[in-house]
Structure 1
Amino acid sequence: MIVVVLTIVNGLLAMSELAVVSARPARLRNMADQGNTGAAVALRLAEDPGKFLSSVQIGITLVGILSGAFSGATLGLRLTEWLRELGVAGSVADVLGVGIVVVLITYISLILGELVPKQIALRDAESVASRVAPAMKLLAAIGSPIVWLLDVSGKFVLRLLGQSGETEEKVTEEEVKTIIAEATTAGVFESDEHSMISGVMRLADRSARGLMTPRLDVDVVDLSDDSSEIRKVILGTHRSRLLVQDGDSDSIIGVVAIKDIIGVFANGQPLDLRKFVQQVPVVMDHADALDVVRAIRNSTVHMALVVDEYGHFEGIVTSGDILEVITGVFQEETGDDPALVKREDGSYLVAGWMPVDEFSERLKLHIPKDAKFETVAGYVLSIINRLPAVGETFEHDGWKFEVVDLDGRRIDKVLMTKLA
């Protein structure tokens, strides 16, 4: 019975050690905020692992010594005497008596003292840690002199090994993505929720240039045009807002809402477009996405102009552009082409405007973090360093690329085939 009790005590210590070490601090902190005092104690133990581990190790070592003494001095000798009474030779009885006891005690210690307690700790580390933390704190207080000596000795040896620096807790983006993927597999998140969370993480990594609609795709009305041309542009657009320029394309003075001026046309009144122009915030093309979000949030037009360092107009970012990064691209017109299509032969037809971070995630391609491009078209141009011709092919990173369509000087469609 003493050996069984000591084995169970060893299991409780092993379970406590693994639970406190593997418990997630964020979850313990949340439990502590909800009034769980055990979780608060577990947090303090985890913040000073040297003393905590020393306390546990003292207990485990003492239990191991006592268990070995009892099993060898009592059970081994009794079994040996019993075997001799059965007629087993003395030398054989000595070996069998001690050997059988050692095997049985080792088996019980592995099951009750290690495997089962540690499995319990891993299944619900935070809950177990919050329950055992007060007892572990008491154990550390009782053995504090020995704990102090062991802690100092351990740090001294670490310093000799060049490990004197404190470890810095870091959670990488890849670890967060892995946790989200595991949560989706376990049913905690729906697949659409997983996609949107991934979109939020992509958004934080983008710049204004990676979010914007380029100037070639932006509808603009020019104040220098005559009234009939302005009327034609306004009635011909499917946008709810139009940028207004005064002369050249870099002289953007603001934006007009179609709903504000449609009544003027309906009443047959002359249009003074300048009266309806609203100011638009301006952001640099290399500005972080979160800075762009703040600029748009503080604006009544829900739009921002993107300019480069020379003041040239590059494009616009709208609240819809930001939402598309999170939820996916919205289809604006019938027949709009998707960003990426997998064909029957296994190849992929990719739009040149597809954001390169989504492209990398979908096809598992490595894109450098400091890349100077934002789209698949920019990725292709960075490889060949010139404007390709329609039908031109090249190979890169295990893929065969074929430029199948150009829109002027812009790469519109690329066909990608995985190389054998």
Structure 2
Amino acid sequence: MIVVVLIIINGLLAMSELAVVSARPARLRTMADLGNGGAATAIELAEDPGKFLSSVQIGITLVGILSGAFSGATLGLRLTDWLKSVGMAGSLADILGVGVVVVGITYISLILGELVPKQIALRDAEGVAARVAPAMKLIAKIGSPIVWVLDISGRAVLALLGQAGDSEETVTEEEVKTIIAEATTAGVIETDEHSMISGVMRLADRSARGLMTPRLDVDVLDLSDESEEIRRTILDTHRSRLLVQDGDGDSIIGVVAIKDIIGVFANGLPLELRKFVQPVPVVMDHADALDVVRAIRNSTVHMALVVDEYGHFEGIVTSADILEVITGVFQEETGDDPAVVKREDGSWLVAGWMPVDEFGDKLKISIPRDAKFETVAGYVLSIINRLPAVGETFEHDGFKFEVVDLDGRRIDKILMTKLPD
């Protein structure tokens, strides 16, 4: 009975150690905020692992010594005497008596003292840690003199090994993505939720250039144009706001809301376009996405101009552009082509404007973090370093690339086929 009790105590200590070490601090803090005192104690233990581990190790070592002493001195000798009493030779009885007891105790210790308790700890690390933390804290206080000596000794050995100082526990972006993927697989979050969470993480990594609609795709009203031409531009656009320029293409003076101008045309009044112009914030092309979000949030026009270091107008970022990064691209007109399509033969038809980070996630292609391009077209140009011709092919990163369409000097469509391993 003493040996069984010692094995159970060993199992409780092993379970407590693994639970506190494996418990996620974020979950423990949430439990502590809800009034769980055990979770708060578990956080204290995890923040000072040296003392906690020393306390647990003292208990496990003492249990191991006592268990070995009792099993060898009592059970082993009793079995040896019984084997001799049934006629077994003395030397063989000595070996079998101690051997059988050691094997049996070791087996039970592995099951009840290690494997089962640790499996319980891994299944609910935070819950177990919150339950055992008060007892572990009490053990640490009782054995504090010995714990202090062991803690100091351990730190000294770590210093000799060049491991002095506290370890930095940081959560990387890859770990967060892995956790989200595991939650999706387990059904904790929906696939669409996973996509949106990934979009939020992508947003933080983008610059203004990676968010913007390029100037070639932006509709602009020119103050120098005739009223009829301006009217025709307004009727042809599906935008709710249009930029206004005064002079060349870099002289953007603001933006007008179409709803403000429609009334002028409806009443047959002369159009004084300048008085409808609203100022629009300006951001640099290398500005972080979160800086762009702040600029748009503080503006009533829900838009920002993107310029380069020379002041050249590069494009615009709207609140819709930011939302598209998170939720996916919205179809603006009937017949709009999607960013990427998988064909029946297994190949991929990719739009040149597709953001390169989404492209990398979709096709499992590694994109350098310091890349100087934002789209798939830029990715292709970075590989061949020149403007390709229609039908030109090349191989890269396990794929065969074929440029199937150009829009002027822009790469419009790329066909990608997976190469044999």
Q: TM-score range by the shorter chain?
A: over 0.9
CA deviation vs aligned residue, 1:190-213 (integer Å, no higher than 9, x gap): 000000000000000000000000
Kindly indicate whether residue 84 of structure 2 is the aligned counterpart of residue 84 of structure 1.
yes
Q: Distance in 2 between matches of 1:200 and 1:161?
A: 42
Matches within 5 A, 1:260-339: 260-339=260-339
Range moving further from structure 2, 158-167 or 284-293: 158-167
Aligned to 1:120: 120
Q: Distance in 1 between matches of 2:337 and 2:404?
A: 14
Cα shift at 1:96: 1.0
Matches within 5 A, 1:359-374: 359-374=359-374
Q: What is the number of residues matched between the two proteins?
A: 420
State the identity as a percent. 87
Q: Distance in 1 between matches of 2:190 and 2:35?
A: 31
Q: Give the match's secondary structure for 1:404.
A: strand
What letter matches 1:203 in structure 2? L
Q: Give the match's secondary structure for 1:366.
A: coil
Give me the CA root mean square deviation. 0.7
Extract unaligned runs of 5+ from structure 2: none
CA deviation vs aligned residue, 1:223-247 (integer Å, no higher than 9, x gap): 0111111111111111111111111
Cα shift at 1:354: 0.2
Q: Give the match's secondary structure for 2:401.
A: strand
Kindly indicate whether residue 414 of structure 2 is the aligned counterpart of residue 414 of structure 1.
yes
What letter matches 1:139 in structure 2? I
Q: Distance in 1 between matches of 2:393 and 2:184?
A: 38
Matches within 5 A, 1:170-249: 170-249=170-249
Q: Give the match's secondary structure for 1:166.
A: coil
Matches within 5 A, 1:324-403: 324-403=324-403
Aligned to 1:40: 40
Aligned to 1:70: 70
Aligned to 2:162: 162
Q: Distance in 1 between matches of 2:231 and 2:68?
A: 96
Q: Distance in 2 between matches of 1:237 and 1:49?
A: 64
The 4+ residue runs of structure 1 with deviation greater than 3 A are none
Q: Give the match's secondary structure for 2:200.
A: helix
What letter matches 2:277 in structure 1? V
Q: Give the match's secondary structure for 2:60.
A: helix
Cα shift at 1:275: 1.3
Cα shift at 1:34: 1.3
Q: Give the match's secondary structure for 1:221.
A: strand
Q: Give the match's secondary structure for 1:238.
A: coil
Aligned to 1:13: 13
Q: Give the match's secondary structure for 1:64.
A: helix
CA deviation vs aligned residue, 1:137-167 (integer Å, no higher than 9, x gap): 1111111111111111111111111111321
Cα shift at 1:22: 0.5
Q: Distance in 1 between matches of 2:21 and 2:233?
A: 66
Q: Give the match's secondary structure for 1:335.
A: coil
Q: Distance in 1 between matches of 2:381 and 2:250?
A: 25
Aligned to 1:93: 93
What letter matches 2:78 in structure 1? R
CA deviation vs aligned residue, 1:92-151 (integer Å, no higher than 9, x gap): 111111111111101110111001111111111111111111111111111111111111
Q: Distance in 1 between matches of 2:361 and 2:350?
A: 13
Q: Distance in 2 between matches of 1:294 and 1:52?
A: 45
